[in-house]
Structure 1
Amino acid sequence: MRHPLPASLVLATAVVLAGCGSSGDDSTAAAGGPIAVKATDTTCEVARTQVDAGTSVFTITNGGQKVTEFYVYAPGDRVMGEVENIAPGLARDLHVELPAGSYETACKPGMIGKGIRGQLTVSGSAAPLTDDAALLAATDSYSRYVKSQTAALEVKTAEFVKAVKDGDIAKAKQLFPIARTYWERIEPVAEIFGDLDPRIDGREEVTEEGMTFGGFHRIEKDLWIDNSAAKSGPVADQLLADVKEIVQKANAEKLSPLQLANGAKALLDEVASGKITGEEDRYSHTDLWDFNANIDGSKAAIASLRPVLEERDAELVKTLDAEFANVDATLGKHRSGDGWKLHNELSQADLKELTDAINALAEPISRVAAVVAEKS
């Protein structure tokens, strides 16, 4: 669940795309090209509301003053695809695989709320991308990774909840960033399932949207600001129940290869929208644990796709390897024992260096979905 950021703090990882069609120009979309989405602070104009089953490409151009996001939702607000951190004046592509059915599109100016919704109908049939044996192997590999992370997430969250309910503040503080590591590695998968993500990981601003502030960050506030867990027991119980539910759902989910590609990029957007600025863990300042976990998760998605990427674009793989190594080296400067320095111990120069490293990685990662979507 995002909170609006000043445009100056948003990482400019998107590539400006020229010649995007307007809502009144269906020529590109009709020819099978990208579907233009014109987003402003008050509108979300999608060039086509009916598309064929298979892979669709939406090109979202932000003509507003606020940073925005774009989503494609299945019933129940199940996320089929999303793209975040579209800064004013920039454009981003979303590749998404959609079977026949009824969906909703949504632009989210300010990256909050339910968004400006529209209907999208997908008809016909198309062979899934996983008919390609290499892409099926990629999704199977990544699913095994998700299962390993969700198992650890459930165990460590249970330990964290026990410490909270026992009133062991020191232990709870120690376990907080550790439990969240496993959450942050698989967050794009966790975000698929409606309001479970904001219930588990929503920041205090969720109250502005009519939701109850709970989950990890409510307990974080209790531990670091109040230095007490006296009132945290019910919140902790609900957190564990929600984590168990999302573990079950995530392990049962059949992912599209494009969800791996989009997820790798979304995890960098997570860094951009909260970790670099210190907004994510604003009470504990343990943002670098989350930062590292997001990078780990992005690497895992790319690793699963690696055989496909090596076959289709070996130069892109070399670039990704180099930029991941650069991010690791840059972040590694801020190790502290078995963990990381607190965010408020980093200088502005440190944060700029990290920002530059993420910028350099974000561009090649943004090209992965298009490579995955290519016909083999």
Structure 2
Amino acid sequence: MLVWAVSGVLVAGAAVGAGVLATAGGSGGGGGPARASDSDGLRHTVVEVTPGGCGRGWSHPAPGRQVFDLNNTSSAAAEVYLTDAGTGAVYGEVEGLAPGTVRPMRVTLGSGSYAFKCLPDDADAVTGPTVRIAGGGKVKSGPAAVPVTQQDLIPPTLGYQKWIQDRTVELATRTDALRDAIDRGDLPAARAAWLPAHLVYERMGAAYGTFGDADGEINGTTAGLPGGVHDADFAGFHRVEYGLWHGESARGLRGPAGRLAKAVHALRDGWPDQRIDPGDIGLRAHEIVENTVQFELTGRTDYGSGTNLATARANLDGSRELLTRLRPLLKGRDSGLGGLGTAMDRARHTLDAFHHSGHWTPLDRLTRTQREKVDADLGDLAERLADVAALTDVRRTA
């Protein structure tokens, strides 16, 4: 299950991974102009952020690891990018730099031409003077990426929407099989039908934010329900799961199974009218795995079937589907793309090792070594996918 929350995918003061541009540290607190050198041992340069003086103060450029202390002396908050003057690729960024505040941007720069771009709230972007660094020698500039536009993201989003449409049809078919088994009183067949149906839904993770109330009706948990598993509002796959693995009669499960099938059919029939926000899909690729670690690998969504590892595996399929569609945009932007693919394969193979003869090993039966490997592999993948979220974040350019 995915629980949508604002997720910090950009780490303050440093790149998230090898392929992601640097971001500013701090919370936007005040302070005067920074010193030319500081306790961190790095070269510091105070740079002005105003519509009339964007980038002013960078008069002695030099290569290497360094800090720009961005000083917003204007009356409006602003975003600030350090860009390649030729390609527009972004080496560093600060969002929400409040008036009268200073925040550091740490970057590594080699030989090349650079320019600050200041984007005040409710005003046009301003590009500062081009600054050239020569004599960088072996110093290579840190990661940079050409900003992704909303238009860039529309083709992969449309393709993904069509993929989801096909999954809703499959979901309805499999959920009907689950309901029908319960209706005829065949609980062993219902238990066999539950997981295949549930996994179809779990592969659709990037679309959950578009499902609205349907997500709770189809895949809700007891979180926030005062009555827990006996609460009248507990519904969907997990409600049926609880009954199937806790001795509830077929008669008692007919209502929950029927409501689940009804919600699934409504989702299938209404999906052609829904639209996924193109700006969300890169973030969703990361959040799918992030929430897998948080909810599936902790067993918080197990209501008796012991199939959290199967769900985690389905979540990886969903994330991989998004990555396949985003790959054309990531090529040339993410230097760690090859490592990301390797990390995805490693996590999938790790999970596959716990699937034997149609059965998945429950979390509580993993050895300590097995558990540590699962946690490590999926945690590493989640960190790498944070790069994707950062690189596909739509940045303002004008």
The question of a shared fold, defined as TM-score above 0.5 by the shorter chain, is answered with yes
Describe the superposition over 1:171-227 as per-residue Cα deviations: whole angstroms up to 9, x where unpaired.
111111110111101133133333321222122234239871111111111111125
The aligned amino acid for 1:359 is G
**Could you say which residue in structure 1 is the equivalent of 2:350?**
330
| 1:177 pairs with 2:183 | no
* Residue 30 of structure 1 pairs with residue 77 of structure 2: yes
Contact 1:160 1:175 in 2 (8 A): yes
Structure 2: distance between partners of 1:266 and 1:363: 10
What's the counterpart of residue 188 of structure 1?
A: 206
Larger radius of gyration: 2
Give me the whole-angstrom Cα distance separating, in 2, the residues matched to 1:355 and 1:181.
Answer: 20
Relative to its length, the structure with more helix (as a share) is 1
Structure 1 SS opposite 2:211? coil
Match for residue 260 of structure 1? 281
* Alignment pair present for 1:307 and 2:328: yes
| Inter-partner Cα distance in structure 2 for 1:208 and 1:269 | 27
How far the C-alpha of 1:24 sits from its partner, in A, is 9.3
Superposed CA deviations along residues 6-61 of structure 1, whole A, max 9, x for unmatched, are xxxxxx9966424342599996982124249xxxxxxxxxxxxx9769xxxxxxxx
Change (3 A) 1:363 1:234: same
**CA RMSD after TM alignment:** 3.3
Is the Cα contact below 8 Å between 2:283 and 2:393 reproduced in 1? Answer: no
Code of the aligned partner of 2:348: D
Aligned length, in residue pairs: 278
Are 1:21 and 2:27 counterparts?
A: yes
Match of 2:293 in 1: 272
Q: Is 1:231 equivalent to 2:252 in the alignment?
A: yes
Cα deviation code 1:320-361 (max 9, x no counterpart): 111111112211221212453233332232122111001111
| Moved segments of 4+, more than 6 Å | 12-15, 23-26, 50-53
Residue 164 of structure 2 aligns with which residue?
146
Alignment equivalent of 1:290, drawn from 299, 311, 333: 311
Residue 390 of structure 2 corresponds to residue 343 of structure 1: no
Deviations 1:213-252 (A, max 9, x none): 1111111111111252221111111111111222334443
What secondary structure sits across from 2:384 in the alignment? helix
**Percent identity of the aligned residues?**
26
Matched, 1:366 2:386: yes
Residue segments in structure 2 that go unaligned for 5+ positions in a row: 14-24, 32-70, 80-93, 98-119, 124-147
Q: 1:164 to 1:24 in 2, by over 3 A?
A: farther
Match of 1:245 among 266, 269, 278: 266
Establish whether residue 355 from structure 1 lines up as the match of residue 361 from structure 2: no
Give the secondary-structure state (helix, strand or coil) at the position aligned to 2:223. helix
What do residues 44-87 of structure 1 show as CA deviations (whole Å, max 9, x unaligned)?
Answer: xxxxxx9769xxxxxxxxxxxxxxxxxxxxxxxxxxxxxxxxxx
> Deviation at 1:147?
1.7
For residues 257 and 316 of structure 1, the distance between their equivalents in structure 2, rounded to whole angstroms, comes to 23
